[in-house]
A and B are shown apart, each in its own frame.
Chain A
Amino acid sequence: MAAVALVVFLAVFFTRFEAGKKFVDEFFNWQIFKKTMPYVARGLWVTIRLAVISEICILAAGLMVALVRISRVKPFRFVAAVYIDVIRGMPLLLQIFIVYFGLAYMGLNLSQFVAGVIALTICYAAYEAEIFRAGIESIHKGQMEAARSLGMGYLKAMRYIILPQAIRNVIPPLSNEFIALLKDTALVATIGLAEVFFRGREMMGKYASVTPLMGAALCYLIITLPLMRLVQYMTTRLSMKD
């Protein structure tokens, strides 16, 4: 009953009242949507490529940093800990600027895409290193002892015994990080990479309408919503197995 009343109220508001009609016209203008959406959606390919390529680098770098972070060599541990804390204590936006403009001042002119991959990798590797570390430390120490007692060296024991179990445990949190990364790729627009958000903003200026931004929002949701469901599904599957 209440739901029906709400629907009726909203329908009346958006079609009969001036304020409501103006809102729909600004945010969901079908004509502008039709004109701008193909252009905005083409940025999706850039966004996905940026996220996937970065994620591959992040996983490799994050795992390395985690292994250094738990190394028995104290100076190594210290360096990794400093890296993780400093990076996590700074805005990603700032890191993107530092990488892109900083390297440009050094005479290294990277494309916006490459600078984006580097900045996202530097930033997210710090977070994912902590996730990997938690995963490794959650494995009972008897596993390492059993592996070492069979004559395996530390690295072999890590590779064949500890990491396979640890990585399985951290798949859900790593997937959540990937979703966050996908959204954060929008920040790379600030250095001029023509991905989804950049194109949406461009069209917003051209047509003086918010609708292209809503189109950009739609682009992100098309990817993130199914991904979130997938993570949920994997999490329940994994916890059922235990």
Chain B
Amino acid sequence: MGSREGRLSAEYMVEIVDLHKRFGFHEVLKGVNLKVRPSEVLVIVGPSGSGKSTMLRCVNGLEHATSGHIYIEGVDITDHKVDINAMRQRVGIVFQSFNLFPHLTTLRNVTLAPIKVRKMDAAEAEDKALRLLERVGLKEKASAYPAHLSGGQQQRVAIARALAMDPDLMLFDEVTSALDPELVKEVLDVMKDLAREGMTMMVVTHEMGFAKEVGDRLIFMDDGNIVEEGQPEAIFTNPQSPRAIDFFSKIL
């Protein structure tokens, strides 16, 4: 319990210190420093290959940092002694390709981890899952299999699945990039609700409207570095670096 209080007293939800990540000879992250406060919505943009997804994946240990430190609620997750499974329960992630479990119903997708990992009572987990599915507007799909859902619906289930573990931090890795245009809004709306309720979020996205509307802060990454950082609106209208000027002129 002491450690829980220690975490809560940490000033930052996430603190990344000089993070390097190399795949073979290719250095994807070249010394990233970043702090995210509780309840902050941080939007991460940049061209493909800039390292934004890799950085996000480092934050919940799907990629191992080559060097540097990542503190989640004050705990250094790059320390080998840290219980990575316990840490991951506090950090939810939603993927571009949904990654729902195709052999399980929607409800079972959401209840599995609470039951098997947190040893939650099955009835209690189902109650909670149904509430979460209602929140993302999919309560009536509880008994459907992922294959019978649209991309937008699958992604909303994926969000509910992550929320079922009561995370303190949510990571979104280009969650609308694989969706048909008309399905993007339903997913973004769920994310906006989450942001309003005070969830701490790190969002890798190309949705500039979303960034402007709910982003507290935006970082622009290029070639493994954070190049610009500030208010989304300010960076859109007045980017400083040549790379950012070029990038925003193409996508806005």
Residues of A whose CB lies within 8 Å of any CB of B are 140, 142-143, 145-153, 156, 160-161, 164-165, 168
CA distance A146 to B86 in the complex (A): 15
A156-B116, A156-B117 as given contacts; A149 in contact with B85, CB under 8 Å: no
> Within 8 Å CB of A156, what residues of B?
116-117
Do residues A148 and B99 form an inter-chain contact, with CB atoms below 8 A? Answer: no
A161-B101, A165-B102 as given contacts; A152 in contact with B95, CB under 8 Å: no
Closest chain B CB from A27 CB (angstroms): 50
CA distance A145 to B117 in the complex (A): 15
Do residues B103 and A146 form an inter-chain contact, with CB atoms below 8 A? Answer: no
Of the listed residues B97, B100, B113, B158, the one surrounded by the most CB atoms of chain A closer than 10 A to its CB is B113
> Within 8 Å CB of B102, what residues of A?
165
CA distance A168 to B103 in the complex (A): 10
A156-B116, A160-B112, A160-B116 as given contacts; A151 in contact with B89, CB under 8 Å: yes
Partner of A150, one of B86, B97, B103, B161: B161
A150-B161, A150-B162 as given contacts; A145 in contact with B116, CB under 8 Å: no
A142-B95, A165-B102 as given contacts; A148 in contact with B116, CB under 8 Å: no
Residues of B whose CB lies within 8 Å of any CB of A are 60, 62, 85-86, 88-89, 91-93, 95, 97, 99-103, 112-113, 116-118, 158, 161-162, 165
> Within 8 Å CB of B103, what residues of A?
164-165, 168
Given contacts A150-B89, A150-B112, A151-B89, 10 further A-B contacts (CB under 8 A): A142-B99, A143-B101, A145-B95, A148-B88, A149-B88, A150-B88, A151-B86, A152-B85, A156-B117, A160-B112
- Chain B residue with Cβ nearest A164: B103
> Within 8 Å CB of B93, what residues of A?
149
> Within 8 Å CB of B158, what residues of A?
146
Do residues A153 and B101 form an inter-chain contact, with CB atoms below 8 A? Answer: no
CA distance A180 to B229 in the complex (A): 64
A156-B116, A168-B103 as given contacts; A151 in contact with B85, CB under 8 Å: yes
